[in-house]
Amino acid sequence: MEKNEEVAVYGASTDDVSFFDIVARSRSLTEAAMQFGVSVSSVSKRLAQMEARLGVVLVQRSTRRLTLTPEGERYAAGAAVIAAQLEELEDSIAEQRHDLRGRVHIRSTIGLGRAHIAPLVADFVEHHPTVQVDLDLSAVPLHIAGSGFDIGIRVGALQDSRLTATRLWVNQRVVCASPEYVRRNGIPATVKDLEAHNCIVLRENESDYALWRFESAGKEIAVRVAGNLTSNDGDVITRWCLEGRGLVMRSRWHVDPLLRDGALVQVLPELATPSADIFAVYAATAPLPRRTRAVIDHLKAGLGRRITEAAG
């Protein structure tokens, strides 16, 4: 069986470039082996042979985690470009079949992922059953290079120039309170007034999450807020706000249904906030495979519809 498995890795996995592209995009040797349909030891042997030929270590590995060395990152970057070009060529030849094949790895924020991305992904797979989608939900910021993910779903401005982004939906953040909180504590009339209120803070991305930003007359106004409740889960802080425990700044895609129903009220509605649009981000170094572009197009078409329907 071991001998047969080695033939599968050497043969069906094509050349070193295609092989290493798959390994580098996997989160562990176990995951890479699953994609090849062989044992972990077979993948490890193939990788060791590449490293011996090149005279460098490409991957620090275990069955649970795979980390690229600087040499591995360089090889992976080049391999991704070549593999994408090859896939694009094969896609163009096979396009007459009109079907999509392969695997797409997606990372999304938790709240948005649960509410909208997961249902949209399931709908996509139903229409394209030969595509496999792996959806990961996490509050941890995604550095997509070398992560094994094809698409990252994020809220807010794009910081990394090495990435390309497709806007999926226009979004802003607003400050909200429950009617009960307003009854007990009053409602802030100015940004400065926020300093006297209990503000529930969401830890997300790598920004200064306790600094709430507004815009007035073309100028940015920032205020540092504080409170006795903080979480990295948007659903949790929204629930605390509904319970009257403090103010929150949340995305409109999340709170518009609650504002419509009167469960929450908007605070400082006359002040705009910086855009917090929803993006699909991906590496800018290589053409997107047809299946990945199709997933992004599906998310863009469906997300706005779902958010609009939820808001009523």
Residues 282, 263 share a domain: no
Residues 128, 51 share a domain: no
Residue pLDDT, tens place only, 249-304:
999 999 999 999 999 999 999 999 988 999 999 876 667 788 899 999 999 999 99
Backbone angles phi, psi at 114, to 5 degrees: -65, -45
Residues 261, 283 share a domain: no
**pLDDT: which is higher, 217 or 141:** 217
Report yes or no on 260 lying in a domain.
yes
Residues 36, 19 share a domain: yes
Mean pLDDT score, 78-97: 70
Residue pLDDT, tens place only, 112-144:
999 999 999 999 999 999 899 999 998 776 665
Mean pLDDT score, 75-101: 72
Report yes or no on 43 lying in a domain.
yes
Report yes or no on 93 lying in a domain.
no
Q: Where does the pLDDT of residue 40 fall: very low under 50, low under 70, confident under 90, or very high at 90 and above? A: confident
Report the relative pairing of strands 151-155 and 278-283 from DSSP bridges. antiparallel
- Please give the Cα distance from 293 to 172 (Å, whole number): 25
- Please give the Cα distance from 108 to 124 (Å, whole number): 16
Q: What rounded mean pLDDT belongs to the chain?
A: 84
DSSP tally for the chain: helices H, then strands E: 11, 14
pLDDT over 60 at 214, yes or no: yes
**pLDDT: which is higher, 262 or 88:** 262
pLDDT at 254: 94
- Please give the Cα distance from 54 to 56 (Å, whole number): 6
| pTM value surpassing 0.85 | no
Last residue of a domain, one of 28, 52, 82: 82
Beta bridge mates, 104? 133
Residues 108, 166 share a domain: yes
pLDDT over 50 at 10, yes or no: no
pLDDT at 9: 43
**Percent of the chain beyond pLDDT 90?**
45
**pLDDT: which is higher, 294 or 40:** 294
Q: Where does the pLDDT of residue 95 fall: very low under 50, low under 70, confident under 90, or very high at 90 and above? A: low
pLDDT at 20: 85
* Contacts for 299-305: CB closer than 8 Å, 24+ residues apart: 299/117, 299/120, 299/121, 299/153, 299/168, 300/166, 300/167, 300/168, 300/169, 302/116, 302/120, 302/123, 303/116, 303/117, 303/120, 303/168, 303/169, 303/278, 304/168, 304/169
Task: Check which CATH number belongs to the domain holding 116 and give it.
Answer: 3.40.190.10
pLDDT at 120: 98
Confirm if 110 and 254 have CB atoms less than 8 A apart: no
Residues 198, 118 share a domain: no
Last residue of a domain, one of 50, 82, 114: 82
Task: Name the residue range of residue 49's domain.
Answer: 2-82
Number of compact structural domains in the chain: 3
Q: Where does the pLDDT of residue 34 fall: very low under 50, low under 70, confident under 90, or very high at 90 and above? A: confident
Of 5-14, 46-55, 67-76, give the lowest mean pLDDT range.
5-14
Task: Check which CATH number belongs to the domain holding 251 and give it.
Answer: 3.40.190.290
pLDDT over 50 at 1, yes or no: no
Residues 212, 155 share a domain: no
